[in-house]
With several copies, the nearest count.
Chain A
């Protein structure tokens, strides 16, 4: 076989390409053959003649003997090996016995020629496969561009961005930040949770009725904040009242809202009671 160019590569590709024609090597391993035709081809090679000059009769006998040998070893044989054996036995009889009256049946010679043709064709295809596999193959011996730049078909979607995009993005965001550094950073919205947290922290330091806007004043330095701080802390303080933690007092509509620690007061009440 021609498949000897690259021993390592070949044996991977050709699994058992170098099966020997040796009779002895044909031991019992029918599994190694790809069907009866493959086995016949291997046997034919033992005749060491051109396949066009092969004796099909001798080959048939070889095959039958081999199968018989396997059966004596009580090996299970796939059905197609046995079908081939039966066909070869029939072929043998047709070749040996005088031809029956000419009819539609192909003659023994025609059958033998057909078999010889099939063997030659199989061998030819094997050689062709070997020649194919020994060509300079793309990705094995010869290589395409390793880093193709997408032209025709784009297999995977790539992210596109230019250095200009990158620098623009960086510069503009740094610039944005520069601007916000100049102004005092402020929160636009005081959340209920924040208000509640601040109020809770303060409860302990409230001695007596204290206007809520007094101790919220540090958070209300700008008019924008005033609304959100008042709204959130009012809601939060109502929550705290409901939970019995503070008391609220307002003398009249729109007057200042006063707040004091309920616990402190509560203890007094308890003492009183």
Chain B
């Protein structure tokens, strides 16, 4: 009761204003917004979750939907209308097969070092491949593995989630789902596993933070 008090105590006019504010913020923001960021600009005591649910509902059948990606909210063209925007997609670059495979391995196996990626792929990867993925803003350096040579570990970014419409890395399909989707065929040897991808930037127990030099070298990848 105490929790709901704040919301229900809002007069209809105040509630409508708060709704307009959330709508405008999400529309104008250049990146997905979390409830915390939204709440910070709303009158104290606003029930952000409820406002977002209402907005989600308002936009649910529309040409634009309010969607949740990476735990944050953004407006996006309704997926059935994507064809309207595709006409101009001519200038888009396609990812090379090597880049796509590397990206997939990083997504599933993160945090992962370059040597580990090469081990999974069975071939070495060029520096350019990782650069392309960094430039696309989909992967980033996370830390350094606590092993000899202290290799850099890579992981995916929030914009990776946003681009592929995932709410969390854990939403990537597992072994059974990949099999179910026909992506992996039945002859799977015993002991073959697909890792359960982990979310979040928190370093694992065998990772050190990046050195200051790494951050400098990373340059454009450090914006997130």
Contact = CB atoms under 8 A, between A and B. Distances in A.
Nearest to B163: A138
A16 B97 contact: yes
Given A139-B92, A148-B28, A121 B183 contact: yes
| Most-contacted residue by chain A among B95, B98, B174, B183 (CB, 10 A) | B183
> Main SS of chain A's interface residues?
helix
A184 interface: no
A146 B27 CA distance: 6
Interface string B21-33: 0001101111101
B104 A170 contact: yes
Contact of B94 (A139, A159, A174): A159
A15 B92 contact: no
Contacts of A177: 120-122
B216 interface: no
Interface stretch (B46-54, B147-155, B185-193, B199-207): B185-193
A159 B27 contact: no
A145 B27 CA distance: 5
Given A125-B105, A144-B75, A167 B173 contact: yes
B162 A132 contact: no
Interface stretch (B2-10, B11-19, B76-84): B76-84
Given A128-B172, A140-B92, A146-B30, A173 B101 contact: yes
Given A38-B122, A136-B79, A131 B27 contact: no
Contacts of B97: 13-17, 34, 169
Nearest to A16: B97
B180 to A, nearest CB: 11
B37 interface: yes
B30 A144 contact: yes
| Most-contacted residue by chain B among A121, A141, A167, A173 (CB, 10 A) | A121
Interface in B64-109: 74-79, 82, 84-86, 88-98, 100-101, 103-105, 107-108
Please classify how large the interface on chain B is, using the bins under 10, 10 to 19, 20 to 34, 35 or more.
35 or more
Contact of A110 (B82, B92, B190): B190
Nearest to B24: A143
A37 interface: yes
Given A125-B104, A168-B183, A178-B188, A137 B120 contact: no
B173 A161 contact: no
Interface string A160-186: 111101111111111111101110000
Contacts of B132: 159
A22 interface: no
Contact of B107 (A17, A137, A152, A166): A166
A131 B93 CA distance: 18
Interface in A169-206: 169-178, 180-182
Contacts of B77: 142-143, 149
B178 interface: yes
Contacts of A152: 29, 31, 33, 37, 88
Nearest to A41: B122
A45 to B, nearest CB: 15
A120 B183 contact: yes
A159 B92 contact: yes
A154 to B, nearest CB: 4
Given A35-B123, A125-B120, A167-B178, A147 B30 contact: yes
Interface in A20-73: 34-38, 40
A266 interface: no
B136 interface: yes
A206 to B, nearest CB: 34
Nearest to A128: B104
B101 A169 contact: yes
A147 B31 contact: yes
20 contacts: A121-B120, A121-B194, A125-B105, A128-B108, A131-B174, A142-B165, A148-B28, A148-B29, A152-B88, A160-B95, A161-B95, A161-B164, A163-B164, A169-B97, A170-B107, A173-B101, A173-B104, A174-B184, A178-B188, A180-B122
Interface of B: 24-25, 27-31, 33, 37, 74-79, 82, 84-86, 88-98, 100-101, 103-105, 107-108, 120-124, 132, 136, 138, 162-166, 172-174, 178, 181, 183-185, 187-192, 194
Given A128-B108, A159-B94, 6 more contacts: A35-B121, A106-B190, A126-B101, A132-B104, A148-B29, A171-B184
Shortest beta-carbon contacts, A-B, top 10:
A37-B122, A35-B123, A170-B104, A148-B30, A171-B183, A143-B28, A129-B104, A141-B82, A149-B28, A131-B173
